[in-house]
């Protein structure tokens, strides 16, 4: 009887384990299916535009006049503005984020570390629209008083984005720096290196792949941001001539025109979303490649 009871218990446990694995597999498949359906929808809506608008005109023309006669759907100025805003935001945020990550990983202790980490987590949880309102109230006047113009500019958008991507870069970089083995630090100190020499020449290079991953993730956040950039960037469909010029990014263009677009105009907005989707997919592949290379080197 006891043997039968044990056999029954084993079968029940095995059934629960199989059921759990099937459930987890279904959850994973739902995620994959969602991505595939979104991809299918975007491409289905965007590809028909290229029957009316050549790819070269769409990508390399800066003339965006959906209501013109004839209409024009060139997004080169939006691509350029997106590149400028993203590049400037990373240029401003990366040194600060890396310095903060090094401090948190190597020096911060006790209450100071707790307060700093809580502040960074809070910074990550603030809605983007709040960042935009902060930009209108603080960043735009500062840019106006310092550089001239009306303050609504790519520079203002870049500063807001730099603040927004700080938590992403800091958190991932800190984890990567903490993952560096203590034996490397001890060996460096044993050879006479100072604390800063150990950090700059041993720890940071050893965590390079994780830091690059953090920057790429921050890049993806900056490229896809809309609300905050829309409020402070000027949202002007012109080719920006300097960082203090107004401009319109790819995401801003989609949000601005989506409410009234139809026909080829609507298809052009979905084609813009296709371009963003492909770019974000490429960034994710870069992150996966870096992570895989890091594991192989380890």
One-character DSSP codes across 125-173: HS-HHHHHHHIIIIIHHHHHHHH-TTS-SHHHHHHHHHHHHHHHHHHHH
H/E run at residue 82? helix 76-106
Q: The domain that contains 256 carries what CATH number?
A: 1.10.3720.10
Residue 259 domain-assigned (yes or no): yes
In this structure, the answer to whether residues 96 and 229 fall within a common structural domain is yes
Please give the C-alpha separations between residue 124 and each of 58, 142, 218, in angstroms, as whole numbers. 35, 23, 12
What's the pLDDT tens digit per position in 225-258? 888 999 999 998 889 999 999 999 999 999 999 8
Confidence of residue 292 (pLDDT cuts 50, 70, 90): confident
Average of per-residue pLDDT values in the chain = 88
Q: Does residue 6 register a pLDDT over 70?
A: no
Contact of 212 with 290, CB cutoff 8 Å: yes
Residue 6 domain-assigned (yes or no): no
Q: Check residues 125 and 1 and name the one with the higher pLDDT.
A: 125
Domain coverage including residue 25: 11-51
Question: How far apart (Å, rounded) are the C-alpha atoms in residues 172 and 18?
Answer: 34
Mean pLDDT of 178-200: 86
In this structure, the answer to whether residues 41 and 110 fall within a common structural domain is no
In this structure, the answer to whether residues 74 and 191 fall within a common structural domain is yes
b or e along 206-222 (b: 16 or more beta carbons within 10 Å of the residue's beta carbon)? bbebbbbbbbbbbbbbb
- Position 144 scores a pLDDT of 94
In this structure, the answer to whether residues 66 and 189 fall within a common structural domain is yes
What's the pLDDT tens digit per position in 16-42? 788 878 888 898 899 889 989 999 999
In this structure, the answer to whether residues 214 and 132 fall within a common structural domain is yes
In this structure, the answer to whether residues 17 and 140 fall within a common structural domain is no
Residue 3 domain-assigned (yes or no): no
For residue 47 the two structure tokens come to 């590809």
In this structure, the answer to whether residues 182 and 259 fall within a common structural domain is yes
In this structure, the answer to whether residues 15 and 108 fall within a common structural domain is no
In this structure, the answer to whether residues 176 and 137 fall within a common structural domain is yes
> The whole model's pTM is what?
0.86
Residue 166 domain-assigned (yes or no): yes
Contacts of residue 222, Cβ cutoff 8 Å, sequence gap at least 6: 85, 86, 89, 90, 161, 164, 165
Number of domains in the chain: 2
Strands (E), the chain: 64-65, 72-73
In this structure, the answer to whether residues 141 and 174 fall within a common structural domain is yes
Contact of 207 with 173, CB cutoff 8 Å: yes
In this structure, the answer to whether residues 103 and 216 fall within a common structural domain is yes
In this structure, the answer to whether residues 197 and 89 fall within a common structural domain is yes
- Position 4 scores a pLDDT of 55
Confidence of residue 9 (pLDDT cuts 50, 70, 90): low
């Amino acid at each position: 009887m006891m043997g039968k009871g044990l056999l029954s218990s084993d079968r029940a446990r095995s059934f629960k384990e199989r059921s759990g694995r099937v459930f987890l597999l279904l959850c994973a498949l739902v995620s994959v299916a969602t991505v595939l359906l979104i991809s299918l929808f975007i491409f289905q809506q965007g590809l028909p535009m290229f029957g009316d608008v050549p790819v070269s005109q769409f990508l390399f023309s800066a003339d965006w006049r959906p209501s013109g006669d004839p209409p024009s759907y060139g997004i080169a100025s939006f691509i350029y503005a997106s590149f400028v805003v993203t590049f400037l935001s990373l240029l401003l945020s990366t040194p600060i984020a890396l310095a903060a990550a090094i401090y948190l990983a190597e020096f911060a202790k006790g209450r100071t570390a707790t307060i700093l980490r809580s502040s960074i987590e809070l910074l990550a949880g603030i809605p983007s629209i709040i960042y935009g309102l902060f930009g209108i109230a603080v960043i735009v006047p500062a840019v106006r008083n310092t550089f001239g113009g009306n303050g609504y500019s790519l520079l203002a958008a870049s500063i807001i984005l730099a603040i927004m991507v700080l938590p992403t870069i800091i958190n991932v970089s800190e984890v990567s720096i903490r993952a560096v083995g203590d034996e490397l630090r001890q060996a460096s100190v044993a050879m006479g290196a100072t604390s800063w020499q150990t950090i700059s020449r041993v720890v940071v290079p050893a965590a390079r792949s994780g830091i690059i991953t953090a920057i790429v993730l921050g890049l993806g956040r900056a490229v896809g941001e809309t609300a905050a950039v829309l409020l402070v960037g000027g949202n002007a469909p012109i080719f920006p001539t300097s960082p203090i010029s107004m401009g319109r990014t790819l995401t801003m263009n989609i949000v601005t025109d989506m409410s009234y677009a139809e026909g080829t105009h609507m298809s052009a907005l979905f084609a813009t979303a296709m371009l963003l989707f492909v770019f974000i997919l490429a960034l994710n592949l870069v992150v996966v490649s870096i992570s895989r290379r890091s594991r192989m080197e380890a």
